[in-house]
């Protein structure tokens, strides 16, 4: 990280702004909003290639503790290619992971895969994302099964299911790829 004085900007730095009760971080070409209402917002820039930069945001450090929950609801808005990575180890991007693609292939298909860009384990055909309005989704990982639905209530309107999960989920990451950017809004539930 360094400050480029010739251009007047921070390269690879994190800038913090405070407005009213929200805090905004500009982090390596993406934006994180921390809201006093208990929501995380990740603005993912357009990713031109077929690779997802899952390291851009770290929800675990932002308060989303996947190791204390077994399901998650969120909203997302983007033209296509919303990606979620469920991880056994929050900082390992290569082992014991499940990749979920929502509205991939130009919003024609959603899948569960056993690794990044891996073989399809569950498939749904149909348009699910919108580039102009937020849509609710849920993911659950319980009893060895990963499930995905298109609703704000876990269990409703299930579109994907794969039962073969053999490791605990301790991390979760979000991103967009394949010529699309998008935004995720994730309510944070605190365990007691």
**In this predicted structure, what is the pLDDT of residue 47?**
79
Question: Where residue 74 sits, what CATH number does that domain have?
Answer: 2.60.120
In a domain, 18, yes or no: no
pLDDT band at 29 (very low <50, low <70, confident <90, very high): very low
pLDDT at position 36 is 53
**Residue 135 lies inside a defined structural domain of this protein:** yes
> What's the burial of 4, exposed, middle or buried (CB within 10 Å: 0-12/13-18/19+)?
exposed
* Structure tokens given for 188: 């944070």
Flag whether 11 is in a domain.
Answer: no
pLDDT at residue number 163 = 98
Residue range of the domain that includes 66: 47-179
CA distance 46 to 30: 10
Q: In sequence order, what DSSP letters do the residues of 96-149 get, joined into one string?
A: SEEEEEEEHHHHTEEEEESSTT--EEEEEES----SSS-EEEEEEEETTEEEEE
Is 189 inside a domain boundary?
no
Q: What pLDDT digit, counting tens, does each position of 79-119 carry? A: 999 999 999 999 999 999 999 999 999 999 999 999 999 99
Asked whether residue 67 carries a pLDDT value surpassing 90, the answer given is yes
Residue 158: pLDDT band by 50, 70, 90 thresholds?
A: very high
- Identify which of 3-17, 27-41, 75-89 has the greatest average pLDDT: 75-89
DSSP 5: T
pLDDT of residue 31: 53
Arithmetic mean of pLDDT over the chain: 83
The sign of the CA dihedral 34, 40, 46, 48 is positive
Q: 17 pLDDT exceeds 80?
A: no
* Listed residue (43, 50, 7, 8) closest to 28, CA to CA: 43
Is residue 14 over pLDDT 60? no
Structure tokens that stand for 90 in this block: 């929050």
The reply to whether 30 falls in a domain is: no
SS3 content of the chain, % helix, strand, coil (to 5): 5, 50, 45
In a domain? residue 120: yes
Q: Is the pLDDT of residue 136 over 50?
A: yes
CA distances from 156 to 8, 70, 76, 108 (A): 49, 16, 17, 21
Whether 30 and 42 have beta carbons less than 8 Å apart is answered as yes
Q: What is the pLDDT of residue 188?
A: 86
Structural domain tally of the chain? Answer: 1
> Distance (Å, rounded) from C-alpha 31 to C-alpha 25?
6
Assigned domain for 168 exists:
yes
Candidate from 17-21, 29-33, 134-138, 160-164 with smallest mean pLDDT = 17-21
CA torsion through residues 84, 26, 35, 191, sign = positive
In a domain, 8, yes or no: no
pLDDT, residue 83, reads: 97
pLDDT on residue 142: 95
């Amino acid at each position: 990280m360094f400050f480029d004085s010739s251009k007047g900007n921070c390269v690879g730095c994190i800038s913090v702004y405070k407005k009213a009760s929200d805090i905004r971080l500009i982090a390596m070409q993406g934006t994180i909003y921390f809201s006093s209402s208990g929501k995380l917002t990740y603005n993912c820039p357009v990713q031109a290639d077929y690779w997802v930069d899952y390291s851009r945001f770290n929800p675990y450090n932002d308060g989303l503790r996947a190791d204390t929950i077994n399901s998650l609801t969120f909203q997302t808005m983007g033209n296509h290619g919303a990606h979620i990575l469920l991880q056994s180890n929050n900082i390992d991007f290569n082992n014991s992971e499940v990749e979920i693609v929502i509205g991939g292939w130009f919003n024609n298909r959603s899948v569960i895969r056993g690794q990044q860009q891996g073989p399809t384990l569950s498939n749904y055909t149909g348009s699910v994302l919108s580039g102009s309005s937020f849509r609710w989704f849920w993911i659950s990982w319980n009893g060895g099964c990963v499930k995905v639905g298109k609703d704000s209530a876990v269990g409703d309107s299930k579109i994907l299911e794969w039962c073969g999960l053999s490791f605990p989920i301790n991390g979760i990451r979000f991103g967009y790829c394949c010529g699309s950017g998008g935004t995720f809004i994730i309510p944070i539930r605190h365990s007691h």
